[in-house]
Each structure stands twice: as structure tokens, then as C-alpha cells.
């Protein structure tokens, strides 16, 4: 019942805000509805999404030399053995619909996407509802809302799903490179985000953020998905920032309450397809709080950078153990209407909802999308990175590390606003230094060794054709805030010589 409440809240909160604010600021002629349909064909060197060695596997002689079975495999009359990695084709289809509403003081968007993929070894699917909105609620205040509800299964084609959950104040660089379970999972997740910004003066700004997220696997069989772990998170942020012409200094505080529930099987089942004799659950709660100083610099109209430095603390509410670590971020960003790019390094702690654990992560990421010609018909995009992660145990110690390498490169061709063609290559590889066996400390959750590469050619049709890019609902990252909610629509107008930022906004145009 509690998990249903989380998912319902993730869907109802943004819808309720839209219903309350929308009629006051939107007109019927500002609404646009369009559909998308993508279809792709490709190949993978691991169509079964098979781990080289699952983290909880044991040697089973009946599986043959070099293969493994789950822990309960030897107790079953018929062993459940891992199949070998196989190269094979992959087929993908994804229809969707998007609704956008715009007015001088508000812009918001709702969308639904269904994704299905199939291969000779397995199939997967995902349903996702995405909501977002940006509102100018007063002469000096702005409000951003977001939410999503998703349900589906993980596979080789869902490697780039955000495993960091909802992150107020902008997504962490570590959220995009995360370890995956060593078996396919069916899951339900949801989340809402809220961010309020208030200008106390033209140079002084305060902000407040709130994020709620939940992720839980759905038990389909007794053999592959026990134990399973669900994660819920409630995070709050508060910050203050003082800006000058090209520089800004600030202070940002964050508190995150993470609840993780693990369900284990009690007693083996004689039939691999039957549920276990009984289950037992264990609940763990932790508080992740941090305080960082921030510095931003605009080196020009398009190039900027950001530094963060501070301290974080992870407190286990069950054992009372505390882990204290430095935390920080260094990022260089290139931002234009035609394309964006970011190179970032971060050291932080955050939950991994797919594994149901808290991780200390050192992450290097490169993300961006830039045109390759003047007419912007050819586009190159990437979301790649490397992460060195260690699980934070209940006693405050750190488990042996897992290294994750992810490459995601896309070459796109956009001949018309109604049609897009993309060639996408993905590679995900994770190498744990210790499994969940004798060499791992008590309480450690092994990730298993996984390596999978996918090459996919996708065509996308947009109907009716759209000559405008999607809206952006994230906080601005530049000092001049030229990349805010209106960044994907129009370049910021030149300010009058004697007017302040707040005065410009009284005219009603959102940034």
C-alpha cells in the first residue's frame, strides 16, 4: 500500500499543479499536441543481457564448465544455468505522444512513451509518463515542477536510464553512470521534483528544492528476482547565490532520507517456477546530508564553468554509524541554442534504486549534442562516462569498489522536421573487484560482471511536424541564466542599459 501511495503521488502532484496553475495562464491556442513513432533494428553482443558471472552465483557442476547458477540452483531438481553470451539481432519500437501548453508566464509539457524491444534471447518493455512545467509566479519568483511514472523491465536497450532518481537542484554527474543488476528486472518507479527561486535583489537569489522518488522491482519468478530491493527517497535542498557580471558564489545544503527494503526467500522451492515457501523483509534507513560552497564563472557568451566543494555525511538510522567524506564537483559547459556539451567530475554519495544500496561514487562524464553542419541537419551526441563506486555498508565502512564504463554515442540526421534518422552505439561494462561471496564484507550487494554492446539504427517520425525543439525544465546553469526554461525557444533579449534582471521579468516573459 505504501509503494502504491508513492507512485500515485508521483503522478498526481504535477497533474494537480498543472490543473490549478494551467487554466490561469494558458490559452487554447497555445496548446500543441504531436505524436512520435520510432522503430529500430540493430545487433548486440549480449542479447540475453547475461552477466559474465552473476554476483550471487555459485558453481554448479550440472551447468557445465565455466557456467554458473543462482544460489538456490543446486537445491533444485533441475538446475537453472546461465546461458552463454550470444550475438544476435535486436528490434525496437517506441510510439509516444506529447502535449505542450505555453503562455507568457508559463510553459509546461506532458508526454507518454511506450518502448518495446525484442531479441532471440529476451524481450523488454517500458511505459513512461513525463510531466514538467516552468512558471513565473511573480515579479521576482519562478517555479519549476516535474514528475514521472515508469513501469517496465531492464535490458541491454535501457542502459541509459537515470539510476540516480529525482535530483533537486540539477542532476548530479554521478546519476548518469550507475551499476546495473546482474539479471533483468521488472520495475515500477515514480518521482516528483519542485524548485522555487526567489530574487531578493538583482544580484542575490535564494532557492528551495524538493524531490521524492520511489523504485521497486516487481516479482515475476521465484528463481531470478529474490532477493529484491526497493528504494524510496525524500530529498530537500536550500541555497543562496550572489552573482556579479560573470561570477557567482553560493552555498547549497541538501538532506536526503533514503529507505531501502530487501525481501529474501526463506526456504527453497522444489519447482523453479513456484514462489518460495515464505519471504522475509529487512528495512534500512539512512540520511545523506551535505553542505557545499559553489562558484560559477561565465567565460563568454557560450562557455562557462562550475566548482563545488564541501562535506557530506551518511548516517545509518539503524546502527548509528556515520561516514564523513569530502564532496565536490568540477564542470565545464558549452551552451548554445544549436548545441550543448558538458565535461564534469564529481565525488558524492547517492542511492542506486536498481540495486537498492547507497554508493560513494567518483564519476567522470561527458555529455552533449552538437550540430555538424551549418544547417543543423547532422547531429552528434554522447552521454558517456566512467564511475568508481563503493557501497556504503550499515556499519559506515565501504565495500570493495566496482568500476563502470559506459559509452553512448549517436550520429543523427534530420532531413526534415517530420523525420529523423539516428545511428546509436552503446557499451556498458562493470567490473566488481569482489562478488557477494566469501571475499565480500557482510551486507555487501554484489553487482556481477556485465559487458554488453549494442548498435541500433532508428528512424523517428514526428506528426504533425515540429519546427521547435522540446521545452527545457531544469534550473539555469549559467551565471547570466540565459539557459533557463525559455532557452530552447528564443535567445535572451538584450537588457535595457538601466534595467535590472528583476525589472525585465516584470514584463511577463519567462526566462
Record the cell numbers describing residue 419, joined without a space. Answer: 523525420
pLDDT range class, residue 251, cuts 50, 70, 90: very high
Query: Would you say 157 and 424 are in contact if contact means Cβ atoms under 8 Å apart?
Result: no
Closest CA to 263 of 215, 231, 286, 230: 230
CA distances from 509 to 195, 476, 486, 490 (A): 19, 16, 9, 11
* Spatial distance between the Cα atoms of 187 and 155, rounded to a whole number of angstroms: 12
**Residue-level pLDDT at 318:** 85
Highest mean predicted confidence (pLDDT) among 15-19, 139-143, 342-346, 436-440 = 342-346
Structure-model confidence comparison of residues 48 and 136, the more confident one: 136
Position 163 scores a pLDDT of: 32
Q: What are phi and psi of 64, to 5 degrees?
A: 95, 170
pLDDT value at position 130? 92
Contact 147/193 with Cβ under 8 angstroms?
A: yes
pLDDT tens, residue by residue, 225-241: 556 778 999 999 999 99
Q: Could you tell me the pLDDT band of residue 267, with boundaries at 50, 70 and 90?
A: low
With CA atoms as reference, report the closest residue to 383 among 197, 161, 208: 161
Residue 268: band (very low, low, confident or very high) from pLDDT cuts 50, 70, 90: low
Q: For position 500, what pLDDT does the model report? A: 38
* Average confidence score pLDDT of the chain: 76
| 439 pLDDT above the threshold of 60 | no
Average pLDDT on 298-307 reads 92
Q: Mean pLDDT over residues 340-363, rounded? A: 90
Q: Is the pLDDT of residue 80 over 60?
A: no
- In this predicted structure, what is the pLDDT of residue 78? 46
| pLDDT over 60 (residue 157) | no
Does pLDDT of 61 surpass 60? no
Give start-end residues of each CATH 2.40.160 domain in the chain. 2-50+85-173+186-505
The predicted pLDDT at position 275 comes to 55
Looking at residue 50, what is its pLDDT? 66
Q: In this model, does residue 169 exceed pLDDT 60?
A: no
Among 36-50, 295-309, 386-400, the least confident range: 36-50
DSSP β-ladder status, 340-352 and 322-335: antiparallel
Q: How far apart are the first and last CA of the chain?
A: 41
E-strand ranges in 139-246 read: 141-153, 186-201, 204-217, 228-243
CATH annotation of 2-50+85-173+186-505? 2.40.160
CA 501 to CA 247: how far, in whole Å? 15
* Cβ atoms of residues 424 and 455 within 8 Å: yes
Residue 444: pLDDT band (50, 70, 90) is low
Question: For residue 126, is pLDDT > 50?
Answer: yes
Q: 430 or 314, which is more confident?
A: 314
Residue 441 banded pLDDT, cuts 50, 70, 90: low
Per-residue pLDDT of 391-402, as tens digits, reads: 898 888 888 888
Position 385 confidence tier, pLDDT thresholds 50, 70, 90? very high
CA atoms lying within 13 Å on the CB side of residue 82: 29
Task: Please tell me which residue, 207 or 357, carries the higher pLDDT value.
Answer: 207
> What tens digit of pLDDT does each residue of 498-507 get?
333 333 333 3
- CA dist 51 and 450 (Å) reads 5
129-166 CB burial, b ≥16 within 10 A, e <16? bbbbbbbbeeebebbbbbbbbbbbbbbbbbbbbbbbbb
Q: What is the pLDDT of residues 12-30, one digit of tens each?
A: 443 344 444 444 444 444 7
Using the structure block, give the residue that is written with the C-alpha cell 540539477: 170
Amino acid at each position: 500500500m505504501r509503494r502504491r501511495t508513492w507512485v500515485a503521488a508521483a503522478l498526481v502532484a504535477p497533474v494537480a499543479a498543472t490543473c490549478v496553475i494551467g487554466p490561469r495562464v494558458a490559452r487554447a491556442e497555445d496548446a500543441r499536441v504531436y505524436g512520435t513513432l520510432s522503430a529500430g533494428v540493430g545487433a548486440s553482443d549480449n542479447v540475453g543481457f547475461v552477466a559474465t558471472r552473476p554476483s550471487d552465483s555459485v558453481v554448479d557442476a550440472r551447468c557445465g564448465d565455466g557456467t554458473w547458477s543462482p544460489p538456490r540452483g543446486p537445491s533444485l531438481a533441475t538446475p537453472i544455468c546461465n546461458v552463454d553470451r550470444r550475438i544476435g539481432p535486436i528490434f525496437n519500437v517506441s510510439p509516444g505522444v506529447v502535449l505542450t501548453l505555453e503562455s507568457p508566464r508559463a510553459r509546461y509539457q506532458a508526454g507518454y512513451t511506450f518502448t518495446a524491444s525484442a531479441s532471440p534471447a529476451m524481450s523488454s518493455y517500458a511505459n513512461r509518463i513525463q510531466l514538467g512545467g516552468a512558471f513565473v509566479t511573480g515579479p521576482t519568483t519562478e517555479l519549476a515542477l516535474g514528475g514521472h511514472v515508469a513501469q517496465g523491465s531492464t535490458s541491454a536497450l535501457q542502459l541509459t536510464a537515470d539510476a540516480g532518481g529525482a535530483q533537486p537542484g540539477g542532476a548530479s554527474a554521478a546519476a548518469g553512470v550507475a551499476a546495473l543488476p546482474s539479471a533483468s528486472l521488472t520495475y515500477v518507479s515514480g518521482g516528483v521534483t519542485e524548485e522555487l527561486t526567489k530574487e531578493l535583489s538583482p544580484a542575490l537569489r535564494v532557492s528551495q528544492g524538493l524531490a521524492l522518488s520511489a523504485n521497486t522491482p516487481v516479482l515475476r519468478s521465484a528463481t531470478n528476482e529474490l532477493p529484491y530491493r526497493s528504494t524510496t527517497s525524500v530529498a530537500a535542498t536550500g541555497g543562496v547565490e550572489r552573482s556579479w557580471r560573470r561570477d557567482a558564489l553560493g552555498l547549497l545544503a541538501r538532506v536526503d532520507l533514503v529507505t531501502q527494503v530487501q525481501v529474501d526467500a526463506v526456504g527453497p522451492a522444489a519447482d523453479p517456477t513456484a514462489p518460495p515457501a515464505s519471504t522475509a523483509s529487512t528495512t534500512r534507513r539512512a540520511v545523506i546530508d551535505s553542505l557545499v560552497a559553489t562558484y560559477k564563472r561565465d567565460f563568454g557568451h557560450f562557455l562557462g564553468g562550475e566548482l563545488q566543494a564541501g562535506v557530506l555525511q551518511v548516517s545509518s538510522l539503524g546502527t548509528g554509524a556515520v561516514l564523513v567524506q569530502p564532496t565536490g564537483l568540477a564542470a565545464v559547459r558549452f551552451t548554445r541554442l544549436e548545441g550543448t556539451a558538458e565535461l564534469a567530475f564529481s565525488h558524492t554519495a547517492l542511492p542506486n534504486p536498481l540495486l537498492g544500496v547507497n554508493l560513494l561514487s567518483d564519476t567522470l562524464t561527458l555529455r552533449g549534442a552538437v550540430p555538424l553542419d551549418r544547417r543543423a541537419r547532422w547531429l552528434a551526441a554522447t552521454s558517456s562516462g566512467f564511475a568508481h563506486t563503493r557501497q556504503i555498508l550499515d556499519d559506515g565502512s565501504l565495500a570493495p569498489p566496482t568500476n563502470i564504463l559506459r559509452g553512448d554515442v549517436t550520429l543523427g540526421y534530420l532531413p526534415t522536421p517530420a523525420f529523423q534518422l539516428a545511428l546509436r552505439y552503446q557499451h556498458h561494462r562493470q567490473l566488481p573487484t569482489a562478488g557477494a561471496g566469501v571475499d565480500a564484507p557482510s551486507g555487501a550487494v554484489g553487482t556481477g560482471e556485465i559487458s554488453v554492446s549494442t548498435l541500433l539504427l532508428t528512424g523517428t517520425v514526428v506528426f504533425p511536424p515540429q519546427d521547435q525543439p522540446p521545452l527545457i525544465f531544469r534550473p539555469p546553469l549559467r551565471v547570466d541564466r540565459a539557459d533557463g526554461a525559455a532557452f530552447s525557444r528564443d535567445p535572451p533579449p538584450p537588457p535595457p542599459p538601466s534595467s535590472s534582471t528583476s525589472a525585465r521579468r516584470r514584463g511577463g516573459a519567462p526566462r
